[in-house]
Amino acid sequence: MQAKIGTLPGDGIGPEVVAEGVRVLRRIGERYGHTFEFEEALIGGCAIDAVGNPLPDETLAVCEGTDAVLLGAVGGPKWSDPTAPVRPEQGLLELRQHFDLYANLRPVKAYPALADYAPLRADLLAGVDILFVRELTSGIYFGERAEQNGSDYAYDTMFYSTGQVQRTAKVAFEAARKRRGKVTSVDKANVLASMRLWRRAVSEMAVDYPDVELEHALVDSCAMHLLRNPARFDVVLAGNMFGDILSDETSVLAGSLGMLPSASLNEGAFGVYEPIHGSAPDIAGQGIANPIATILSAAMLLRYSLRLEDEARAVEAAIDAVLDEGGRTVDIVGDGALPLSTSAFADRVLQHLG
């Protein structure tokens, strides 16, 4: 296979972890006989500094010419003023809208080797393997809003159409068919009209999937059960804001934010793949960032955009093997153990890939 992959390293530790993701993809290409071409472009704070735009036209042009994009992280203290007219996160939102990346997949897996680093008891983590499917291009993050400087009121509107809900729900139901056959749809239908539409639209979609169990859960109740009994969940379907919050909450079950990847997909094969963690400017340039989430994001790129399932599984197995043999970065290292650097951990992954 020949494929062109765009890389958007972004800010903070983004360039460091993306570099390791690219190394892993190059090794997969060598091992399995694929030709991967990479092209890098700017996004986020570094793009603001360079051209005054968090998502330059040149970056969009690069992405449009690729089969998939591997992204690092954006933002940092330099650009942290929420009232600034131009902010790094605007680049991400525009990227999602431009390519209609409506379905965000965030897998959360509890690794037995890292049970000591999670805040829950080890027995609660046994068997935890959750896939969050988050609607990504509508909801309250994109609805009508108003805020007047100096005014004593502001508003944001949560908007959903039946079509927007059901196309995301379809992704969740299809995923559940390949997993354990259960979808938990999260809403606040007891209070919000938009969430009553959400519940109705998901229920209508469920008719086409009689082999998949559907349960509806209010967001506050779901937040509690994700910590009290996380292993009961299979696929969790949620709107933009609720999906963002709940998947971040559940990320602690893996032991570190540095463990969790994500994929943002449209109707076709194109996707943007990125770790869910931020730019971590406090450790940028020190070579200690955890590259696991980015490497696993590269595995998702292989699976969803390039349709290379065996290659994706090989990357995931290599991560498992390194963790099982005690390989750790500083965020998941125990007392008395020596952590691996960002590149050294990736070296161990490459060794297992052969």
Q: Using CA of residue 326, residue 328, residue 333, residue 336, what is the dihedral sign?
A: positive
pLDDT of 285 reads 96
* Last residue of one domain, picked from the residues 254, 284, 310: 254
Give the structural domain span for 307. Answer: 1-101+262-354
Q: Are residues 276 and 345 in the same domain?
A: yes
Residue 251 CA to its chain's centroid (Å): 10
Q: Are residues 92 and 133 in the same domain?
A: no
Q: Are residues 154 and 210 in the same domain?
A: yes
pLDDT of 148 reads 67
Q: Are residues 149 and 223 in the same domain?
A: yes
Q: Are residues 136 and 161 in the same domain?
A: yes
134 bridge partner residues: 104, 238
Q: How far apart are CA 333 and CA 267, in angstroms?
A: 40
Q: Are residues 216 and 299 in the same domain?
A: no
Q: How far apart are CA 64 and CA 99, in angstroms?
A: 9
Amino acid (1-letter code) at residue 108: V
The reported pTM is 0.93
The answer to whether 188 is a known catalytic residue is yes
Q: Which two tokens stand for residue 206?
A: 């469920």
Over the range 99-134, which residues count as b (16 or more CB within 10 Å of their CB) and which as e? bbbbbbbbbbbbbebbbebbeeeeebbeebebbbbb
For 94-129, the DSSP string reads HHHHHTT--EEEEEEE--GGGGGGSSS-HHHHTT-E
Catalytic residue among 100, 129, 156, 248: 248
Q: Residue 15 domain-assigned?
A: yes
pLDDT of 117 reads 78
Q: Are residues 301 and 215 in the same domain?
A: no
CATH number of the domain within which 91 lies: 3.40.718.10
Q: Are residues 129 and 235 in the same domain?
A: yes
Q: Residue 178 domain-assigned?
A: yes
Q: Residue 106 domain-assigned?
A: no
The answer to whether 102 is a known catalytic residue is no
CB neighbourhood size of 215 (10 A)? 12
pLDDT of 149 reads 67
Strand 103-109 vs strand 2-10: parallel, antiparallel, or unpaired? unpaired
* Last residue of one domain, picked from the residues 206, 223, 254: 254
Q: Are residues 245 and 266 in the same domain?
A: no
How many domains are contained in the chain? 2
Q: Are residues 230 and 202 in the same domain?
A: yes
- DSSP annotation of 340 reads P
* Last residue of one domain, picked from the residues 254, 275, 302: 254
Q: Residue 66 domain-assigned?
A: yes
The answer to whether 156 is a known catalytic residue is no
Catalytic residue among 102, 141, 273, 304: 141
Q: Residue 113 domain-assigned?
A: no
Amino acid (1-letter code) at residue 339: P
Catalytic residue among 49, 208, 220, 310: 220
Q: Residue 295 domain-assigned?
A: yes
Q: Residue 197 domain-assigned?
A: yes
The answer to whether 248 is a known catalytic residue is yes
Q: Are residues 128 and 247 in the same domain?
A: yes
Q: How far apart are CA 184 and CA 174, in angstroms?
A: 13
pLDDT tens-digit profile, the chain (354 residues) = 999 999 999 999 999 999 999 999 999 999 999 999 999 999 999 999 999 999 999 999 999 999 999 999 999 999 999 889 999 999 999 999 999 999 999 999 998 888 877 888 888 899 999 999 999 999 998 889 887 666 788 999 999 999 999 999 999 999 999 999 999 999 999 999 999 999 999 999 999 999 999 999 999 999 999 999 999 999 999 999 999 999 989 988 888 889 999 999 999 999 999 999 999 999 999 999 999 999 999 999 999 999 999 999 999 999 999 999 999 999 988 766 789 999 999 999 999 998
The answer to whether 273 is a known catalytic residue is no
Q: Are residues 81 and 123 in the same domain?
A: no
CB neighbourhood size of 146 (10 A)? 10
CB 350 within 8 A of CB 21: no
Q: Residue 302 domain-assigned?
A: yes
pLDDT of 42 reads 98
Cα–Cα distances in Å, from 32 out to 132, 225, 309, 325? Answer: 30, 42, 12, 25
Of residues 170, 193, 198, the one with CA closest to residue 183? 170
